[in-house]
A and B are shown apart, each in its own frame.
Chain A
């Protein structure tokens, strides 16, 4: 027999996940416009793989397949992973990353709601550690590329690793601004010299800063739609900006402006879409601030003094470990307990 309450808000996990996907669409559109249609192939492949693996895992658990496929969580994982990978990465890289995300990071930990680590970031981390070469071949912005691939050609390259006659890999690919910065700094160039290179835009990377801006706008939509709270994104960005600013003030030739850090790599996607994953993130308001700030600081340190050009994935995973502890120590005061505590 049902007991109270007898009414419920018209909401569901599916609706939440659909809104998350919708918030990503403008950035994806800009991505296609500025970098070519290859990302659509990557997104589609990751989506199909994720849904198939999710269905298989749910079936093995003996759960009803339909509600768990429709909850949309596998699709969100797939999209977040695909958007973190180079769009012209080979098909097996995408499939492998998705496998680690859905099967290892999510279902081996108990499925939806039970995973300790962000699935998309586990997939990404496995790939960047295992296949660093493939993971650094990014599409060049169309404005800088020597040649453009259409959708069919992109699919052909992703699946068969063959390019149309007359087009070389160098013509369509380039290092990311973060990669470039890292390599150039090792060559003893100053930040001022490096940022003159064409891959750099006005704040972040040429072209990619537009995509990043749209991730930010999508994130603001999620906040307005009350899918996420402001705590994690703001703390993440503040942690990164403040740490970056501190380094920048001490040596502006060696440490680039903190705004550049905000506008490049996985920061905006990470701050609004990845770190805000409710399952693997902190849940209390103060906990979210610590969690977000931790990711921001770690991202900067990994980028600047660590061994990888971008640090969002590792920062998220490291902070995921700390979530139970953060939550346990940041429990808000319960009604009726505040006064008493103040007195004692």
Chain B
């Protein structure tokens, strides 16, 4: 089982690996050096910790603690609910002060259920120990990882235990660690790779074991030479063959689909998963978290966060999940006076923070303070001149100018024909648009409208089914009554056989109705629209979020009427 290829062969493979290109991409200013001059700092215990129960794609965790409970560091405070979900944990020891709604990092500034913890300062761990992962039933190991809250730290926060299931094939041949980190400003993965390369590869070893992979690749953009050197040094004695591949620096080269294309020339099928083509990708941070979980028994309660932009001392910090953003900003020497706002994530795909009260979550890779100088306002939009710079920049090979045209015209059918749902919202199109059209916003709008319509349609179908069922029931009850009546009548002598032809006719009619309903149902099932069937859990989550947003808007819209 542990047959290793000698290092020499591995070395030559590294030299000869052919890299491929994806279409488009852009080269925004990197701004990464500003936060890489200082080593990763350990953030001190915050005064208050707010742990959202929904930090991952999928269903929120179910709270396991009550107000007033004493919790220990690493104690599970929220239990995974449903299949796509992971647990959440107390990042330090203390007292649960509330289980209440709190503003979270969300595009619309929504609130979510959070466990509020007042740290006691002791930072006392629960009893925890390394897992003997090689001698465990794979499903048991995966369940343990779910219960330790391991989820993708690259941004999507997809539960890792699901991705670590090799499936029916019992094997995912290619394992890719994503150290691309293509977004400007962010350097948390870079610093993690520089300082903890060995631990990352130990995490990769566990992944490789669980997925039974043949090859392990680590893709790092070539603007991180220190990280590449650290990984290569660690690769020498990690005990399994691994290739550290420097990939060209081009945004969004760190997107999973793009990195897979660059390293393997394979494309993740539309609407499918990378495992469909025998590839599994994990962020390097996730590999590190997996290492901590398996070799130290520590659940996911902290991560590296880049605090940068318009702050005095940009730096990366190892931060407890649940730490308010305001505390982090203070650690980075506070913001400069002209700060105009905060982003969570990078400038290409990040979201605006409603306030600095929001807590750091598993998805938080970067806190970016904005200023008018660093982020000049976009000039007013001009008409599209169909110059197709967007199409030339689109890493999904879409024709953004056509999508824009149809989305603006609310011709949503056409947007789907032009593969709207293959858009990864990377922002390249908006970035290069000489007319400064907020293209991605149009696509988000079109997607949410399509989902909403689909939901309405489902609701209408459901209502119609209920109506048909009710009609059928009424008909059946009428018939039963008639039959009973007939029986009662037939028990009386002399009135035999008179209504039996009618009975036969009614039965035939009933059968015909039933057949028609079934035909209609089959037809309906076969014409469900393209692109929105078999959605992966990320999409479902996205839909759920958009629904929540819409519900909120509706609520807000109704308020004045109610009062």
Q: Are B434 and A15 touching (Cβ within 8 A)? A: yes
A174 within 8 A of B: no
A278 within 8 A of B: yes
The secondary-structure label for the interface of chain A is loop
| Cα distance, A13 to B441, chains bound together (Å) | 20
Chain B residues numbered 366-403 whose CB sits less than 8 Å from any CB in chain A: 370, 375, 378-380, 382-388, 391-392, 395-399, 401-402
Residue contacts A-B, CB under 8 angstroms, 20 given: A3-B107, A3-B444, A5-B430, A5-B431, A7-B184, A7-B348, A7-B375, A13-B385, A13-B434, A15-B434, A16-B385, A113-B382, A114-B383, A331-B399, A335-B257, A335-B395, A336-B272, A339-B266, A339-B269, A339-B277
Query: Which residue of A13, A278, A336 is within 8 Å of B422 (Cβ)?
Result: A336
Q: Are A5 and B440 touching (Cβ within 8 A)? A: yes
B46 within 8 A of A: no
Q: Are B385 and A278 touching (Cβ within 8 A)? A: yes
CB distance from B365 to the nearest CB of A (A): 14
Question: Residues 412-426 of chain B: 1 if any A CB is under 8 Å from the residue's CB, otherwise 0?
Answer: 000000110010010
Q: Are B431 and A334 touching (Cβ within 8 A)? A: no
Per the CB 8 Å criterion, the residue count for chain B at the interface is 61
Q: Are B384 and A113 touching (Cβ within 8 A)? A: yes
Q: Are A5 and B349 touching (Cβ within 8 A)? A: yes
Question: Residues 1-37 of chain A: 1 if any B CB is under 8 Å from the residue's CB, otherwise 0?
Answer: 1111111110111011000000000000000000000
Q: Are B378 and A8 touching (Cβ within 8 A)? A: yes
CB distance from B414 to the nearest CB of A (A): 10
CB distance from A285 to the nearest CB of B (A): 9
Q: Are A6 and B350 touching (Cβ within 8 A)? A: yes
A164 within 8 A of B: no
Residues on the A chain within 8 Å of B388, using CB: 278, 283
CB distance from B359 to the nearest CB of A (A): 21
Residue of A nearest to B370 (CB): A6
Q: A4-B347, A67-B382, A331-B418 are in contact. Are A9 and B387 (CB under 8 A)?
A: no
Residues on the B chain within 8 Å of A112, using CB: 382-383, 385
Q: Are A67 and B348 touching (Cβ within 8 A)? A: no
A190 within 8 A of B: no
Query: Which residue of B266, B272, B380, B399 is within 8 Å of A284 (Cβ)?
Result: B399
Given contacts A113-B382, A334-B419, A335-B396, 13 further A-B contacts (CB under 8 A): A2-B352, A2-B438, A4-B427, A8-B378, A9-B432, A11-B434, A111-B383, A113-B383, A114-B383, A334-B270, A334-B398, A335-B267, A336-B396
Top-4 shortest CB links A-B: A5-B427, A113-B383, A336-B270, A278-B387
B343 within 8 A of A: yes
Max count, chain B CB within 10 A of own CB: residue among A15, A68, A335, A339: A335
| Cα distance, A3 to B439, chains bound together (Å) | 11
CB distance from A15 to the nearest CB of B (A): 7
Residues on the B chain within 8 Å of A335, using CB: 22-23, 257, 261, 267, 270, 395-397, 422
| Cα distance, A226 to B397, chains bound together (Å) | 18
Chain A: number of interface residues, binned into ranges: 35 or more
Residues on the B chain within 8 Å of A2, using CB: 352, 378, 438
Chain A residues numbered 144-161 whose CB sits less than 8 Å from any CB in chain B: none
Residue of B nearest to A111 (CB): B383
Q: Are A4 and B348 touching (Cβ within 8 A)? A: yes
| Cα distance, A327 to B391, chains bound together (Å) | 13
Residue of A nearest to B439 (CB): A5
CB distance from B546 to the nearest CB of A (A): 13
| Cα distance, A284 to B352, chains bound together (Å) | 35
Chain A residues numbered 285-344 whose CB sits less than 8 Å from any CB in chain B: 327, 331-340
Residues on the A chain within 8 Å of B422, using CB: 334-337
Residues on the A chain within 8 Å of B402, using CB: 283, 327
Query: Which residue of A3, A9, A279, A332 is within 8 Å of B399 (Cβ)?
Result: A332
CB distance from B310 to the nearest CB of A (A): 13
Residue of A nearest to B433 (CB): A8
Residue of A nearest to B441 (CB): A3
Residues on the B chain within 8 Å of A16, using CB: 385, 387, 434
CB distance from A23 to the nearest CB of B (A): 15
Binding site for A on B (CB under 8 A): 22-23, 26, 28, 107, 184, 257, 261, 266-272, 277, 343, 345, 347-352, 370, 375, 378-380, 382-388, 391-392, 395-399, 401-402, 418-419, 422, 425, 427, 430-436, 438, 440-441, 444
Residues on the B chain within 8 Å of A9, using CB: 26, 28, 431-432
A71 within 8 A of B: yes
Max count, chain B CB within 10 A of own CB: residue among A1, A7, A112: A7
Residues on the A chain within 8 Å of B399, using CB: 283-284, 331-332
Query: Which residue of B22, B380, B386, B436 is within 8 Å of A8 (Cβ)?
Result: B436
Q: Are B352 and A1 touching (Cβ within 8 A)? A: yes
Binding site for B on A (CB under 8 A): 1-9, 11-13, 15-16, 67-68, 71, 73, 111-114, 229, 278-279, 281, 283-284, 327, 331-340
| Cα distance, A56 to B399, chains bound together (Å) | 33
CB distance from A286 to the nearest CB of B (A): 12
Residues on the A chain within 8 Å of B432, using CB: 8-9, 11
| Cα distance, A331 to B271, chains bound together (Å) | 19
Residues on the A chain within 8 Å of B26, using CB: 9
| Cα distance, A337 to B272, chains bound together (Å) | 10
Residues on the B chain within 8 Å of A6, using CB: 343, 347-348, 350, 370, 375
Q: A4-B440, A9-B26 are in contact. Are A340 and B351 (CB under 8 A)?
A: no
Q: A9-B26, A278-B386, A331-B418 are in contact. Are A3 and B268 (CB under 8 A)?
A: no
Q: Are A334 and B440 touching (Cβ within 8 A)? A: no
Q: Are B433 and A334 touching (Cβ within 8 A)? A: no
| Cα distance, A6 to B353, chains bound together (Å) | 13
| Cα distance, A7 to B438, chains bound together (Å) | 11
Residue of B nearest to A10 (CB): B376
| Cα distance, A332 to B345, chains bound together (Å) | 31
| Cα distance, A9 to B107, chains bound together (Å) | 23
CB distance from B405 to the nearest CB of A (A): 10
Q: Are B352 and A71 touching (Cβ within 8 A)? A: no
Residues on the B chain within 8 Å of A332, using CB: 397, 399
Residues on the B chain within 8 Å of A73, using CB: 385
Q: A4-B427, A113-B383 are in contact. Are A339 and B267 (CB under 8 A)?
A: yes
Residue of B nearest to A323 (CB): B386
Residues on the A chain within 8 Å of B349, using CB: 4-5
Residues on the B chain within 8 Å of A67, using CB: 380, 382
| Cα distance, A120 to B22, chains bound together (Å) | 37
Q: A12-B379, A335-B257 are in contact. Are A5 and B348 (CB under 8 A)?
A: yes
CB distance from A308 to the nearest CB of B (A): 28
Residue of A nearest to B23 (CB): A335
| Cα distance, A9 to B383, chains bound together (Å) | 17
Q: Are A336 and B387 touching (Cβ within 8 A)? A: no
Residue of A nearest to B107 (CB): A3
Q: Are A338 and B267 touching (Cβ within 8 A)? A: yes
| Cα distance, A77 to B451, chains bound together (Å) | 43
CB distance from B383 to the nearest CB of A (A): 4
Q: A13-B435, A113-B384 are in contact. Are A336 and B375 (CB under 8 A)?
A: no
| Cα distance, A9 to B429, chains bound together (Å) | 10
Q: Are A283 and B391 touching (Cβ within 8 A)? A: yes
Residues on the A chain within 8 Å of B22, using CB: 335
| Cα distance, A188 to B419, chains bound together (Å) | 58
| Cα distance, A114 to B391, chains bound together (Å) | 18
Residues on the B chain within 8 Å of A5, using CB: 347-349, 427, 430-431, 440
Q: Are B382 and A71 touching (Cβ within 8 A)? A: yes
Query: Which residue of B23, B28, B387, B391 is within 8 Å of A7 (Cβ)?
Result: B28
Q: Are B380 and A12 touching (Cβ within 8 A)? A: no
| Cα distance, A49 to B422, chains bound together (Å) | 46
Residues on the A chain within 8 Å of B425, using CB: 4
Residues on the A chain within 8 Å of B271, using CB: 336
| Cα distance, A333 to B430, chains bound together (Å) | 21
| Cα distance, A284 to B438, chains bound together (Å) | 21
Q: Are A7 and B347 touching (Cβ within 8 A)? A: yes
